[in-house]
Every structure is written in structure tokens, then in C-alpha cells.
Amino acid sequence: MRIAMIGTGYVGLVSGACFSEFGVNVVCVDKDVTKIEGLRDRGEIPIYEPGLDQLVASNAAAGRLSFTTDLAEAVRSADAVFIAVGTPSRRGDGHADLSYVYGAAREIAAAMDGYTVVVTKSTVPVGTGREVERIIRETRPDADFDVVSNPEFLREGSAINDFMRPDRVVIGTESERARAVMRQLYRVLYLIETPILFTALETSELIKYAANTFLAAKITFINEMADLCEKVGADVHDVARGIGLDGRIGRKFLHPGPGYGGSCFPKDTLALVKTAQDAGSPLRIIETVVDINTRRKRAMADKIIAFMGGSVEGKTVAVLGLTFKPNTDDMRDSPSLDIVPALQAAGVTVRAFDPEGMAEAAKHLSGVEYAENAYQCMDGADALVILTEWNEFRALDLARARTLLREPVVVDLRNIYNPEDMEAQGFRYSSVGRRQIG
């Protein structure tokens, strides 16, 4: 089998590398010459994702994975062409911007040769697959092809494992011929008994949004519950465990925090809200989730300021973690993008450290001092704020932190420390949905 992967962003590169690991011949295509040259000539991975560099290197060396800017050449010899280009939120109205997807469809149509399965891997609103089908037919009335929706459910930081050992694979198409090609591509997953769900095109497209918005709602539920816990003296982790052990609820995605961020949840919740409104069937739960999460990120700065005594003008805050989650350099819709500017607006000097995200953060945040490590970050600061739960922040030398900080104030928005331990170490400690110390 040969496939072309159009778009070597996060989804395209991970999926391309993983398919090649499955034994498929993969050509990854991108318009960005520098990116392709870096990948092809120097094995340079444009994103940070654990394990991806070795996976790319070994499959490229084995001749199963290659990189090109020549879309037509890659498509011509492919049994299946995956569209994995970006679908950012359109400025102004929150709809997904599909211009890259449709542009790719036109180029694919012009180049395809023989029966070709065209697969949308990017997260695309319901109806996009049909439009891709229409565009291809319009561009090449003689083309022999089927359009399939095959959404990804990869989490950044564990994307390779999620691709190799998924909970399920969803494949949306009415064509038996296309299903056979997809079965062949995912052959390895049949061997490990992964459920492979075949649905209609539109259903598959909606499953992706339904999954992401459900998870966003689950996080938002526990975040609001955390706020209530603080008010009534309950512990949100015990609540999460107490409800999560009920198999109907499930234990995952009940970890409270500063609000969800990242490349998917904020964009997908917004896009589904718009789709539902346009369809005359509004999703009021998700509309509320979007609203709560947006306010929450801003409210976190107020929480920090209040815990620091209310007046923070001229103070320095050490921020550990800027990315939206650990093990990534991704800053998209990270809570830090709301929290840091709000602290600065209140007169705070923000000094930050993030193991992988500082270069990216510098493009989005201004006036931040960047430290070389966690301890340099907190040296002389009036408070320590934990925004992302990187492993190295879970194991800080607290006695050292206590001596470096000007005031023993810690605001832990990811709940990676225990209130009891922090109390014993002499800190004033605030977290999310738990007893506050001091």
C-alpha cells in the first residue's frame, strides 16, 4: 500500500510516521519547503512530540517514509491520500476555516491517477467530506475515487501511543471498495483487536466533534465542581474519584485545572456550536461550556492576585509551565495566554520557565522574563505559580524553593502538590478545589 499524507503538521506527521511503522509506504507532502528539506535532509522534526524523531528516522532509513513538496507526484502513485492540513478557527465567526482542505482537494483531484481513496484526517465540520467529493468531481469529472472520513483522536504528548494502540478507529464511508482499502491500512490494529467502527461519512465527522466536546464538558464539569468544593470545604479529587469509580461516569478527564486549552478542544467546541446553530439545533450545553471555560482562564489571574493579598503592583511572580499541557511545545489556547497578560496588567513582573515552550511562548507573550530553570525562575519572586504539570515540576526541591522565594506563596493550578505537605514545609498554598493553606 502507498499513501500520500498532505500536510506535515502535528496530525499529518504523526499519522504518516505511524502508518509507515505499520509497513505502509508513506510520502508526506507540505508546501513549506524549509520544513520538508529539514525533515528529508536532516531529520529535523518541526514539533516536539516524544518518540517522533526516532520513529521518523527509522522509517525514513527503511525507505518507507519520505518527504516532498511535490503533491502531484505523491498523489499519482497513492492508493489513498490523507488530507491532514490545518483547520483553524476563522477570524470573527468561530467557524472552522476550510480553505486549506478545499485547496488540497482541488490539487489532489488534478493529480490522481486510478482508483484513489481520499481521506479527511483533519477535524472537519459535518458536510465537509461531501463538499470535498463535489470539488473533486467538479475538477475531474472522470476521476475514480471515494471520500472517507477518518478522524484522529491523538493527544499531544502521547500521540504515537494513541495512534498505535487506539481505543477505536472510526471510518466513515458508504463505499465497500474504500472500506477494503482502509481495512488494509489499519491491518495491524485488527491484530491487536482494536474496535474499528464503520459509519456513514457524516456520522464519522460528527463523532470526532461529539467526542471532543463531551470531554471538554467533562473537564468543565469538574472545574465548576472544584470551585464549589472550595466554597463548601470539600475535596475535588475525592469527589472525582467518588463519581469516577461509577463505570457509567469513568475516572478519566476529571482532573480540575485552569481551563482546557490546546489545538482541539477550544476550536472544536466553538465550531460545533456554530454548526449546531446553523442547523437550527443549538447545543446549549456546549455553548455554556465554551463560555465557562473562557471566563475561567481569565478568573485564574484574579485567583492568584487575591491569594497574594490583592495588591500586586511591583511584585514578581514566578510562573512554571506555559504550554497548554506537558510534553509539548504547543501554546495554542494555553491558559497562560490569558493568565500572564492579566497578571502583567495588574502590575506584576512575570518571570517564567517552561521546559519546551519558551520559544513558542515568546511569539505570543510580551514583557515576560524567561529563566533557565525552575529555581532561577523562583529566585527572589513574591509567589510561585504552577500553570502546567510538567513532571520536573512535580519533584521540586521544596526546601530550596522555600529559601529562594521572597514570600512562601505557591498557587498550584494543576494540583500537583498536597496541601498537607505544603503546610508542613511552611508554604501558603492555594490549589484548585481543595483546602487552602494560609
Q: Distance between CA atoms of 127 and 275, rounded to whole angstroms? A: 10
User: What's the closest the beta carbon of residue 333 comes to ligand UDX, in angstroms?
Assistant: 8
Q: Is 123 marked as a binding-site residue?
A: yes
Is 256 annotated as contributing to ligand binding? yes
C-alpha span between 395 and 20 (Å, rounded):
37
Which residue from 49, 152, 329, 382 is in contact with ligand UDX, where contact means CB under 6 A?
152
Minimum distance of ligand UDX from residue 162's CB (angstroms)? 7
Q: How crowded is residue 255: how many other Cβ atoms within 10 Å of its Cβ?
A: 17
Among 49, 107, 146, 156, binds ligand UDX (CB under 6 A): 156
CB 241, CB 282: distance < 8 Å: no
Nearer to ligand UDX, 253 or 370 (CB): 253
Among 98, 108, 171, 264, binds ligand UDX (CB under 6 A): 264
Cβ-based nearer residue to ligand UDX, 78 or 254: 254
Distance CA 105, CA 288 (A): 35
307 binding ligand UDX? (CB under 6 A): no
Q: Does 115 bind ligand UDX (CB under 6 A)?
A: no
Q: Which of 18, 28, 229, 264 is catalytic?
A: 264
Footprint of ligand UDX on 343-402 (CB under 6 A): none
175: nearest Cα among 150, 138, 153 = 150
Q: Binding-site residue total for ligand UDX (CB under 6 A)? A: 20
| 163 belongs to the binding site for ligand UDX (CB under 6 A) | no
Quote the DSSP letter at residue 150: -
Q: How far apart are CB 309 and ligand UDX at their closest, in Å?
A: 27
Asked if residue 179 belongs to a known ligand binding site, the reply is no
Q: Which is nearer to ligand UDX, 100 or 209 (CB)?
A: 209
Q: Provide CB contacts within 8 A for 74, sequence distance 6+.
A: 4, 6, 27, 29, 68, 81
Nearer to ligand UDX, 129 or 261 (CB): 261
What percentage of the chain's residues is helix, strand, coil (to nearest 5)?
45, 15, 40
CA distance 292 to 295: 5
Q: What CA–CA distance (Å, rounded) separates 114 from 2?
A: 13
How far is 42 from 20, CA to CA, in rounded Å?
A: 18
**Of the candidate residues 16, 172, 257, 355, the single one contacting ligand UDX (CB under 6 A):** 257
Query: In angstroms, what CA-CA distances link 346 with 42, 74, 315, 350, 382?
Result: 45, 53, 10, 11, 14
The verdict on 9 binding ligand UDX (CB under 6 A) reads no
- From the list 72-80, 152-160, 193-201, 351-359, the region that binds ligand UDX by CB under 6 A is 152-160
Place of cell 519533584: 395
Please give the Cα distance from 93 to 107 (Å, whole number). 27
Q: How far is the CB of 337 from ligand UDX (least distance, A)?
A: 12
Task: Show contacts with ligand UDX in window 175-214 (CB under 6 A).
Answer: 212
Check binding of 21 to ligand UDX (CB under 6 A).
no
Catalytic (active site) residue 28: no
Active-site residue list: 264
List residues forming the annotated binding site: 30, 35, 87, 123, 153-156, 208, 253-257, 261, 267, 325, 332
